[in-house]
Amino acid sequence: MKQEFRLDGKAAIVTGAGSGIGRAIALRFAASGAKVYLVDLRSDRAEETARMVAEDGGADAIAVQCDVTDAGATRREFAAIAARGPIDILINSAGVSHIGRLETTTEADFNRIFLVNVKGVFLCMQAALEFMKRQGGGVILNLASIAATAGLSDRFAYSMSKGAVLSMTLSVAKDYLADNIRCNAVSPARIHTPFVDAFLKENYAGREHEMFQTLSNSQPVGRMGKPEEVASLALFLCSDAASFITGADIPLDGGFFNLRG
């Protein structure tokens, strides 16, 4: 049987590809036939992901060092990628987190979150858009969060940023229907990434295991999600099998919204 969720002959830009969810998506896409451009602020991490792609026998992977909050740099790097061929897929996975409520969020905290999580997504979509329009279409997938639509404790700035990501997703999906550009969002609940481990080590030294279980149990299924599970959903949404899906926010939440209580 022909494998339905394949990306053979397509090129995908994955931001934040140097670790966590972005890396998992890049690896899955490369294994499914896509040529992947691994965009990350840290070139060493992007190059490490490229080596992992090569070791797995995936399609071409090219590391691209880029600060997605820098408009000029983002336009230049995307133009250089487009000079190599079509940009079929854009995954906006680069992001940062913040713990704190309104009164404990400083202006510097707010600006840092906004620059990466909101402006970075805006700049990357804008940079890819002209090329997608010119070539007759494309797919954009943004990493939002359940924080965009749920009230989470101590996540004021982060929730703000992911709400903006979701709103931008819906706007782009509506505005570019006639250009054959699909735009969707994935909203994960807590995913076990290196950020989670670093957070527990920094804030709960000696109690990491206990707090890991507490955080895991906040999902009704009793565990955190895996980056690879986000990657599987991303693969489907960016494949031709999902050609009827646009303007959607897909929860990947272990039952968080509908099965609590």
158 an active-site residue?
yes
d(C-alpha 117, C-alpha 63), whole Å? 21
| Coil, strand or helix at 102 | helix
Q: What are phi and psi of 42, to 5 degrees?
A: -100, 115
Distance (Å, rounded) from C-alpha 123 to C-alpha 127?
A: 6
Report the alpha-carbon distance of residue 68 to residue 126 in Å, rounded.
Answer: 11
CA gap 110, 195 in Å, rounded: 19
Whole-Å CA distances, 54 to 31, 32, 45, 51, 211: 10, 13, 14, 5, 36
Calpha distance 53→191 (Å, rounded): 22
Residue with tokens 């272990």: 254
Catalytic residue, chosen from 37, 158, 176, 204, is 158
Residue 150: CB atoms within 10 A of its CB come to 16
Residue type, 261: G
Residues catalogued as catalytic: 158
